[in-house]
Structure 1
Amino acid sequence: MTTKNRYAEYDSLASMYDDQGTQRHDIVVEQLEQLVLQHLPKPARILDICCGTGQIAQRLLQKGYQVIGIDSSEEMLRYARKNAPHAEFILEDARFFQFTSTFHAVISTDVGLNLINTLEELKRVFQNVYQALRENGIFIFDLYVEELCIEDWQTTKIQGEAKENNAWINQFDYDAETKIGCDRTTRFELIDGQWQRFNMTFNWKLYSITDIKSALAKVGYTDIVFYNIKNDFGIESSGHVGCFVCRKS
């Protein structure tokens, strides 16, 4: 992996990301079970892109699946290898990875693909996934979508949290012209008895449901279905998130 494709700024987020609790990850796996896993053989091969700290990968391993995870943060993968030691993890950018057609399913959770800020680059991810899937393989991913987010995102938000060993404060602003939400976070972590400060900025691109469906169809996917996670699964905390499921034809 080239240096330009690695996102070192995500490294300082890894410990906080890993400390989100188990319920959130359990809910994601329940959704995967309903939409994808029940249709797969065991031991199916699953590719987890933007896999973060491997919490989902570990749960899939426990269910008997073979899992490979890719992420562009080395520190995220350090946690992932601890959380899911029997999975394989690769340092790679979702826009540039290449696998032959070996996976029964490819997943991407926790809206990681919104961090890809152009539709052209997102389409490149879709092409990489298509190449990695077996015939009739399933691709499932979640996103913040414009139709569910636009009203809420136009309000500037400031929030934060303090724990014994870390604390953070966040400000979120949305640019309606570019459809990008700018997420500025300052984080403090107690490391070896010393408090250290990390400043991070993440840009979240909003895509419309129509744009995503069109991009998937152009790559060659079929049976494209969109789910509103709040309405279709009753998960209030995911009110702005949509889920897409499609197949390689």
Structure 2
Amino acid sequence: MIPSQERNTNHDAIASIYDLKSPLERHDIVLECIDKLILKNIPEEAHIFDLGCGTGQVAQRLIKRGYQVTGLDSSEAMLNIARENAPNAEFILDDARYFKLPPTFHAVISTDVVLNYILSTEELENAFQNVYDALLENGIFAFELYLEELCESNWKNNESGGGVKDDNVWVDIWSYDQNIKIGRKDTTRFELINGNWQRLDRSFFLKAYSAAEVKIALEKVGFTEINIYDINRDLEVKKASETACIICHKPQI
């Protein structure tokens, strides 16, 4: 397990409101994509690795379908909630850039643009290598990603958002540096604790990769049959965000 100072632990601060911030139907949309592109091509009761599993919402949906699921996340607070949401899954506290697992899984998924939080192509390639090593031969890797070609116009709009609940109020403010292709989300949260409102501020950074950068990194570690789908246009998924789904395979040696 990687020490906390080397893991990205920013999401600990918003773990308890993560499911409030992200509507639960979004996870059903993710499962719809997974169903179309992966589940029909792996064995029944296959072992699936959920990289950046968050609060375990997707893991629990897969378990209900009869699959074995192991989830990994760098946020211990997220995993504490995931263990409640998906008690029959196995969860690992580690970082996508550093984890090491033997070839165990028929498929690896990464949803909710987790890999955009990796801010350099070198570290993204490291994550791809770790996934490759964890897959069985003929295994499938599928991940959701903001691609520069799809998202950059939206990021430039500096859109903001937020929400209000009985004991939580939060605001997200977006900005984008086109020169380095880094989006920044500044989150301010007010939480009612013992009758007093407490403030917390966190900044989250996401890298907009081009399709070419992603494909080159995947090929360098050995992935083949790389396909990139626009979730809205190519997969016809309603109410999806401006993301892509990238599918690739670990070949049989």
Is TM > 0.5 for Structure 1 vs Structure 2? yes
Say whether residues 1:240 and 2:242 are aligned partners.
yes
Query: Could you tell me which residue of structure 2 aligns to residue 208 of structure 1?
Result: 210
Q: Provide the secondary structure at the position in 2 that maps to 1:42.
A: coil
Query: 1-side partners of 2:103 and 2:195: how far apart?
Result: 48
Query: 1-side partners of 2:166 and 2:237: how far apart?
Result: 29
Query: Could you tell me which residue of structure 2 aligns to residue 81 of structure 1?
Result: 83
**What is the Cα deviation at residue 166 of structure 1?**
1.0
**What is the Cα deviation at residue 236 of structure 1?**
5.1
1:142 to 127, 144, 165: 144
Query: 2-side partners of 1:238 and 1:30: how far apart?
Result: 11
Q: Deviations over 1:169-189 (max 9, x none)?
A: 111110011100111010112
Runs of 4+ more than 4 Å apart: none
Q: Provide the secondary structure at the position in 2 that maps to 1:230.
A: coil
* Shift in CA distance, 131/202, structure 1 to aligned 2, threshold 3 Å: same
TM-score scaled to structure 1, two decimals?
0.96
Q: Deviations over 1:49-104 (max 9, x none)?
A: 11000000001111111111010001000000000011011110010111111100
**What is the Cα deviation at residue 216 of structure 1?**
0.6
Query: 1-side partners of 2:40 and 2:194: how far apart?
Result: 45
CA RMSD of aligned residues (A): 1.3
Residue identity opposite 1:110 in structure 2: D
**What is the Cα deviation at residue 165 of structure 1?**
1.9
Query: Could you tell me which residue of structure 2 aligns to residue 219 of structure 1?
Result: 221
Query: Could you tell me which residue of structure 2 aligns to residue 17 of structure 1?
Result: 18
Q: Deviations over 1:34-55 (max 9, x none)?
A: 1001111121111101100000
Answer whether contact 1:148 1:241 (CA < 8 A) is retained: yes
**Matched residue pairs, number?**
249
Query: Could you tell me which residue of structure 2 aligns to residue 32 of structure 1?
Result: 34
Answer whether contact 2:56 2:83 (CA < 8 A) is retained: yes
Query: 2-side partners of 1:89 and 1:172: how far apart?
Result: 31
Answer whether contact 1:5 1:72 (CA < 8 A) is retained: no
Query: 1-side partners of 2:167 and 2:105: how far apart?
Result: 39
Query: Could you tell me which residue of structure 2 aligns to residue 69 of structure 1?
Result: 71
Query: 1-side partners of 2:242 and 2:182: how far apart?
Result: 15
1:126 to 118, 125, 128: 128
Q: Which runs of 5+ in 2 are unaligned?
A: none
TM-score scaled to structure 2, two decimals?
0.95
Query: Could you tell me which residue of structure 1 aligns to residue 5 of structure 2?
Result: 4
Query: 1-side partners of 2:132 and 2:216: how far apart?
Result: 15
Query: Could you tell me which residue of structure 2 aligns to residue 117 of structure 1?
Result: 119
- Percent identity between matched residues is 51
Q: Which runs of 5+ in 1 are unaligned?
A: none
